[in-house]
């Protein structure tokens, strides 16, 4: 039977003859079987573009506070925090505070650790929402640009002697800003821990109707590639991208060693 094929060795978890579910994606000449690794990867990319257009990441709340993430990335951060058990999570980009409260929730469950959260502008009602939250004792809010030397010095002070430290960068996503943040904040990440760069997906969604073609060379993804080229002490850990649906593709960077 022509429309039945034996599972390829690259096909995940399929052990019987099956009917391929073929889709032809725009720009492709051949259809792809969604049950293969390649099909799943391509379909995930299409889902990511469509979800970006629908602003899916603006749909969620964490313990009542808006969190600007997609569920898969929140779950991956949960796994990372559980594994690393950080003494400090540094976050740049607070917005409403949902992610800071999410990190604080994890630290509360792990019974140790603090969140140092930085934003260039913390609106009064967002500050109040965080301050009045039951988990607020675990969160320090710093207002100022993340790349400002005074702000960074304050963050450094909070991280003094703390280990492990995880850094999550989710503020302004231009290549220049993210690269500058990476240069500064990577120094806080302890060996074995992670620097997580959000919105590396900008390359992929640059051609979505609400995207911007300039993101191909001027976004967080470009910053990560340039950073990794000159920082051998960090490597991308694709384990945290294994769900495929992510806005942090290639953005989970593990610090393998100290700089000598």
Contact positions vs ligand SAM (CB under 6 A): 67-69, 92-96, 98-99, 118-121, 145-146, 170-172
Task: Note whether 169 and 152 are within 8 A (CB).
Answer: no
Q: Quick check: bond before 164 cis, omega within 30?
A: yes
Buried b (16+ CB within 10 A) or exposed e, 191-220: eebbbbbbbbbbbbbbebeebeeebeebbb
102 vs 227, which CB is nearer to ligand SAM?
A: 102
Nearest approach in angstroms of CB 73 to ligand SAM is 9
32 vs 68, which CB is nearer to ligand SAM?
A: 68
Nearest approach in angstroms of CB 204 to ligand SAM is 17
> Which position has the token pair 């950080």?
86
Nearest approach in angstroms of CB 119 to ligand SAM is 4
183 vs 233, which CB is nearer to ligand SAM?
A: 183
SS3 content of the chain, % helix, strand, coil (to 5): 40, 15, 45
11 vs 99, which CB is nearer to ligand SAM?
A: 99
**180: burial class by Cβ within 10 Å (0-12, 13-18, 19+)?**
middle
257 alpha carbon, distance to own chain's centre: 22
Nearest approach in angstroms of CB 4 to ligand SAM is 45
Nearest approach in angstroms of CB 154 to ligand SAM is 12
146 vs 241, which CB is nearer to ligand SAM?
A: 146
Quote the longest CA-to-CA distance of the chain: 69
20 vs 93, which CB is nearer to ligand SAM?
A: 93
| 3-state SS class at 118 | strand
Nearest approach in angstroms of CB 125 to ligand SAM is 13
């Amino acid at each position: 039977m022509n429309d039945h094929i034996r599972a390829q060795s690259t096909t995940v978890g399929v052990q019987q003859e099956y009917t391929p579910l073929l889709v032809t994606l725009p720009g492709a000449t051949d259809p792809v079987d969604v049950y293969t690794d390649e099909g799943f990867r391509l379909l995930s990319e299409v889902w990511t573009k469509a979800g970006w257009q629908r602003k899916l990441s603006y749909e969620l709340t964490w313990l009542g506070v808006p969190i600007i993430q997609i569920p898969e990335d929140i779950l991956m951060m949960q796994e990372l925090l559980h594994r690393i058990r950080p003494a400090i999570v540094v976050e740049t980009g607070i917005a409403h505070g949902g992610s800071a409260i999410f990190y604080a929730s994890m630290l509360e469950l792990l019974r140790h650790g603090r969140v140092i959260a930085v934003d260039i502008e913390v609106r009064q009602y967002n500050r109040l929402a965080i301050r009045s939250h039951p988990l607020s004792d675990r969160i320090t809010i710093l207002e100022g640009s993340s790349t400002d030397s005074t702000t960074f010095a304050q963050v450094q002070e909070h991280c003094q002697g703390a280990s492990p430290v995880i850094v999550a960068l989710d503020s302004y996503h231009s290549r220049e800003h993210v690269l500058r943040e990476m240069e500064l904040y990577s120094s806080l990440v302890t060996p074995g821990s992670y620097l997580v760069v959000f919105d590396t997906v900008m390359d992929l969604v640059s051609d979505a109707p609400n995207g911007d073609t300039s993101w191909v060379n001027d976004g967080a993804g470009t910053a990560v590639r340039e950073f990794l080229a000159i920082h051998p002490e960090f490597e991308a850990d694709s384990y945290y991208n294994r769900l495929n649906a992510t806005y942090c593709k290639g953005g989970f960077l593990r610090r393998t060693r100290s700089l000598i």
